[in-house]
Amino acid sequence: MEPFGIPQVGHEEIYKSCDIITLHVPLDESTQNMIHKETFENFRPESILINTARGGLVNELDLQEALKSGPLLGAAMDVFEEEPNTTHPLFQLPNFFPTPHISGNSNQAILNMGRSAIEHLRNFFSKDSQWSFWATGSTEKLPATEGGKKIWWLNLPAAWKKVPLPTL
């Protein structure tokens, strides 16, 4: 039995059976132009493609053709191979919906990014870490270690001293 009762299938099966396909992968050599003319031939008729992951995953010229003559009903993209991009021929198509690389700008996304950054800092500066974290406004020579731990000094301008730093 597959996890949650959902069978694992290959890309071709996904393209043939899904009405809406969204991309959620990094851009690297294995994913560059992963969606292209031959891929579109496997898409279900009148399907929709959404890419908010990375520019370069979709061959944009092949996408243009798939939107004009099928099989795609529509496509939406928040990322493009070249950004900023305001003159791409895709923008002239009535079934293409571009957004200006803002998918990560919702209140929830920004909150999640902040929480992730704080969690990474907490892990980096945890009591089990080899590093200690100290803030100072001084330019004097500061010790590099304390109690066997390396010290990472953050030299704050005098104006910042009034801003309370979060406790990690």
Residue 164 token pair:
């309370």
> What's the rounded Cα separation, in Å, for the pair 154 and 95?
51
Active site residues: 54, 83, 101
Q: Can you give 71-137 as a three-state secondary structure string?
A: CEEEEEECCCCCCCCCCCHHHHCCCEEECCCCCCCCHHHHHHHHHHHHHHHHHHCCCCCCEEEEEEC
CB of 12 closer than 8 Å to CB of 42: yes
Residue 83 token pair:
């950004």
- How many other CB atoms are found less than 10 A from the CB of residue 67? 20
Helices and strands in the chain, H and E counts: 4, 7
| Rg of the Cα atoms in the chain | 24
